[in-house]
Structure 1
Amino acid sequence: MTSFRRFLKDESGTATIEFLFVFPIVFLVFTASFESSMYMARYVMFERGVDEVIRQIRLGDLRNVTHQTLKQRICESGIMTDSLTTCMNRMRIWMQPVNTASFAMTAPPVTCVDKASEVNTDEPPANEFAYGTDNDIMLLRICLKEWPMFPTSAVSVKMPPQPDGSVAMIVTSVFVNEPGA
């Protein structure tokens, strides 16, 4: 019984046990904070790139823009991704004119792009990407997928999760097609 009492009164190693209890929590908070700040920086750069390209379209600097050209211009505007091709494959653009008689808007697709399916580089159908005419109010929704750096800290990211484990960064913009542009 004396050796058992000696074992209970022994305080050596208590700092190590406290460290083992506290370290995982502190490390999880650190990784969640780091990942959240990286997503925030990427989202701000993505939104700025979209705003720059939309401004060029609105002012008439970009004429007869195609779906692929629009993707390429947005990706070239400084989004932090691996490469231009990767950025274009992870992005989905939905653009439709707004009916100004009733202001009824078509609902954009919920999902971004499907990682498992083949990437389609053709022009999307008219119900996903329409140019509109002069003086049309255009509603634009651009979705870019990113994958978590630390999947265990995904609780920190407050962006729409996708079925494949990625996170969707979504930017929505409205602009008017200028006459004669």
Structure 2
Amino acid sequence: MRRAWNRFSRFAARLRREEAGTASIEFVVMFPLLILLMATGFEAGLYSTRQALLDYAVEKSVRVLRLNPDDPPSYSEMVDIVCDAAVMVPDCHNAIQVELTPIDTETWDIDPGPVYCRDRENDYTPEIVFDEAGGGNRLMLLRLCAVFHPVFPTLGLGARLTRVSENDYAMVATQIFVTEPTE
């Protein structure tokens, strides 16, 4: 027994003095952290780009609504306008939901409730709230909800995003505008 103990203690002492393999330990510790950091940075950049393009698409569609109060676009035309401008929205026609509601200027009630997004996993599209902005000088609220799959759903930012379904997260763009007077 004593002999085995001496062998073990000599082996342990030799391991303590040995410096080979220390770079491997640093790599094993640091590599997952670097991958997590890179994945989070990529996801954040993609999220920011999509949000900026979604805001641009809403601005472009609002311009059409605001300047043409006598001939407002229908819901499907509005989706086409948004999808033409939001080039980084994959499967755009099936990923977005557009709401257009008037705001009562007597009560100034701007809270139309929660934003309803599509649930692509259950093939559910919420009721379309789209009051065509007919007539001039009306205060309108446009909300657009787009759903996306995170690129890295289990790493960094992708794991922290608020989900609307098991695999999708939502991104919302909102704009309030006044249609131009007709006379």
What's the TM-score once normalised by structure 2's chain length? 0.83
Would the aligned equivalents of 2:144 and 2:174 in 1 still touch at CA under 8 Å?
A: yes
Q: Distance in 2 between matches of 1:29 and 1:62?
A: 51
Cα shift readout 1:117-147 (whole Å, capped 9, x = no counterpart): 33559xx55xx21124432100111011111
Aligned pairs, number: 174
Letter of the structure 2 residue corresponding to residue 20 of structure 1: V
Partner of 1:95, secondary structure, is strand
What's the TM-score once normalised by structure 1's chain length? 0.84
* Equivalent residue in structure 2 for 1:163, among 158, 162, 165: 165
Matches within 5 A, 1:1-181: 1-60=9-68, 63-82=71-90, 86-118=91-123, 124-125=127-128, 128-132=129-133, 133-155=135-157, 160-180=162-182
Partner of 2:172, secondary structure, is strand
Unaligned runs of 5+ in 2: 1-8
Cα shift readout 1:68-116 (whole Å, capped 9, x = no counterpart): 110111101142133xxx2011001111100100111342434411123
Q: Distance in 2 between matches of 1:62 and 1:12?
A: 78
Cα 1:180–1:154 shift into 2, 3 Å: farther
Would the aligned equivalents of 2:118 and 2:125 in 1 still touch at CA under 8 Å?
A: no
Q: Distance in 2 between matches of 1:157 and 1:26?
A: 16
Unaligned runs of 5+ in 1: none
Q: Distance in 2 between matches of 1:22 and 1:62?
A: 62
Q: Distance in 2 between matches of 1:25 and 1:137?
A: 49
Partner of 1:39, secondary structure, is helix
Would the aligned equivalents of 2:141 and 2:175 in 1 still touch at CA under 8 Å?
A: yes
Letter of the structure 1 residue corresponding to residue 131 of structure 2: A
Q: Distance in 2 between matches of 1:176 and 1:158?
A: 36
Q: Name which of structure 1's ranges 15-24 and 170-179 shifts more when overlaid on structure 2.
A: 170-179
Partner of 1:152, secondary structure, is coil
Q: Distance in 2 between matches of 1:54 and 1:103?
A: 20
C-alpha RMSD of the superposition: 2.5
